Structure 1
Amino acid sequence: MLATELPLLTKEELAKNMRLSCQCKLKQDIKIEIPEELFNVKEYASTVVKMEKVTPTIKYLRFDLGDEEINFRPGQYVQLKAPAYEGNDEEVYRAYSVASSVNDKHAIELLIGYTGGIATTYVHQHLNVGDNVHINGPYGDFYYHEDDNGPIILAGAGTGMAPILSILKYMAENNINRKTIFFFGAKTMSDLFMLEQIKYFEEKLPAFKFIATLSREESPDWNGDRGRVPDSIIKHVENGENYSAYLCGSPAMIDSIIKSLEEKNVPLNKIYYDKF
């Protein structure tokens, strides 16, 4: 392992003896195995057909792919190209989880939060309905698993709702009525969004329950959970040994949720997550 590789690999990747191919010198013939799903990766020329500000810092966007079709698993992500614009001369790609249904093959829906970075500044301050955007994908090994049909815990915050929405749409469209609890973390009531879609899932999936947890809400009008998602998991889950869990959010948030899931006996091999 070269020193140049260490900062670019996670602890999990290092433990699996993974290397960066660009840093390796080949001394003999090697065999390369390409994951089958990578053959689905394509570049798409899309058009913004809908853009809506759903919270003070998050935008919902729908991109029309025209005659092209995209095939992905619920939970995966795509990359969006932010071109050079006034004040920025750098072209970059950034990854965003897909919020749309796998059956919506001629469009892509994304939730993009403003962080002040190159891509989010482009989306929030320069991109308009009717603009053309290049997207490629799909990517990722975070997706819904057809496992033992046991109960499910979903957990996310902010734009981490995107892949969870895609998973719930898949479940609703395929009448997968597994007991499901969606723990969603936000700061205040103004940070809650997509509540009409959540209501649809509650009606379509009788075993589905949505629990929002607010960390900074001071209004007495809020009657829901207060604190953070791990606190709500401890409060509402009695024994998680039969559960699967799907988590999407910041590394710190994911790590804290995993600790609470372990405390509730959720098997580690059935905890799937996407850190961003």
Structure 2
Amino acid sequence: MAFDIRIAGTDVHFSCASGQNILDAALAAGIEMPYSCRKGVCGNCAGGVSAGEVQSPPSEARPAGQHLYCQCLPQTDVEIVPESWHRFDPTARKTFTAKVFRNTLAAGDVSVLQLRLPAGQRAKFKAGQYLQVALPDGSRRSYSMANPPHESDSLQLHIRHVPGGQFTQIVPQLKAGDTLQVELPYGNFELKEESTAPMLCVVGGTGFAPVKSLLDDMVKKKVQRPVTLIWGGRDKGGLYLLAAVEKWQKQLPGFTFVPALEDAGDAAALDGFNGRVDDAVRQRFDALAGHEVYCCGSPGMVAAVRKACVEERGLDPHHFFSDVFVPGPAAT
């Protein structure tokens, strides 16, 4: 049995099979709406249901009066009211056999994995998007591309070693010449290129990866926007790629870097902020109306930053863009 899903105010509709969630059905039909984790954690896919009945489990990420489309199962034909949507070509997503070119331990618990695609093949993606790595048992893991789109013959991944993590136990053993199956692109955490609003980027740990792609892409395209980057970690060792920050300080006019570290000595040494990233936001900004915020990290960290920006500093909630890192198997 299948249900008809219609986008309110349009003639656009698509089919959703019984037991299939609305987001997956939309993506299969070539209709993309905001999403990130696809696990009901980040809240990016929240939207309205204006007609029909759905089964939608409770979630802290679910705003009042809305539903998480990645968890939303229709029980009848349904009319939805997404925050935004656009058509895309589902066949643009490609699978590659990528070869390990370099595997660097950038911090005690972070590997920077550089992959090369087969000769003559190029990956098409937007800055900020992610890929899925297919593991031998058929499960997948999601990682953001840290390189900008114009470096299309290679892929750079920043991988935190998660205790007990299936893939992160493999990563330290990978050597030049080993291969991985990857599929991309996924996600819509991407720069709003038509905007000239000041940008605040708030990241924790390897949440730095997609923002690195965004900022490198801005350099390539000569985008002129004020940018503040707040990068959080336990100590300065967690800021594992400061060389990239140093380049942006030279290449991006109006760029400001704020390291936010739990270690007071390291924070002082880097002329940074001693504490959490959400408190760094509060300390640096009295108001965020007219800004855009790009936030990447753990669910708790993203929720705390959203509260500081939207509830306490007046940011338009539609201008808070997030990519939530949720460990474990990816939704396929």
The corresponding residue for 2:296 is: 248
The corresponding residue for 1:48 is: 100
Q: Which has the higher strand share?
A: 2
Residue type of the partner of 2:198?
A: P
Residue type of the partner of 1:15?
A: Q
2: CA distance, partners of 1:163 / 1:243 = 19
Q: Which runs of 5+ in 2 are unaligned?
A: 1-52, 78-84, 326-332
2: CA distance, partners of 1:81 / 1:9 = 30
Measured at CA, do residues 155 and 48 of structure 1 come closer, stay the same or move farther in structure 2, by a change above 3 Å? same
Encode CA deviations 1:24-63: one digit per residue, 9 max, x unaligned: 6889xxxxx9940533211111100011111100010111
Encode CA deviations 1:119-155: one digit per residue, 9 max, x unaligned: 111112x322210111001000211112431100001
- Of 170, 176, 180, 2:217 maps to 170
Which secondary structure state, in structure 2, belongs to the residue aligned with residue 210 of structure 1? strand
- Mapping 1:1-276, distance limit 5 Å: 6=57, 11=62, 15-16=66-67, 18=69, 35-36=87-88, 38-66=90-118, 67-83=120-136, 90-116=137-163, 117-124=165-172, 126-218=173-265, 221=269, 223-262=271-310, 263-276=312-325
RMSD over aligned Cα atoms: 2.7
Residue type of the partner of 1:40?
A: A
Percent identity over the alignment is 23
1: CA distance, partners of 2:98 / 2:218 = 27
Residue type of the partner of 2:275?
A: G
2: CA distance, partners of 1:200 / 1:19 = 38
Measured at CA, do residues 68 and 206 of structure 1 come closer, stay the same or move farther in structure 2, by a change above 3 Å? same
2: CA distance, partners of 1:20 / 1:11 = 10
The corresponding residue for 2:28 is: none
Residue type of the partner of 2:210?
A: P
Quote how far apart the aligned CAs of 1:69 are. 1.2
The corresponding residue for 1:86 is: none
Q: TM-score, normalised by structure 2?
A: 0.72
Which secondary structure state, in structure 2, belongs to the residue aligned with residue 272 of structure 1? strand
Q: Which runs of 5+ in 1 are unaligned?
A: 28-32, 84-89
Q: TM-score, normalised by structure 1?
A: 0.86
Q: Which has the higher helix share?
A: 1
Residue type of the partner of 1:39?
A: T
Encode CA deviations 1:236-273: one digit per residue, 9 max, x unaligned: 12321110010000111001101111222121111100
2: CA distance, partners of 1:181 / 1:59 = 25
1: CA distance, partners of 2:320 / 2:58 = 26
Quote how far apart the aligned CAs of 1:216 are. 3.1
Give the paired residue count.
Answer: 263
1: CA distance, partners of 2:71 / 2:315 = 33
Contact 1:38 1:139 in 2 (8 A): no
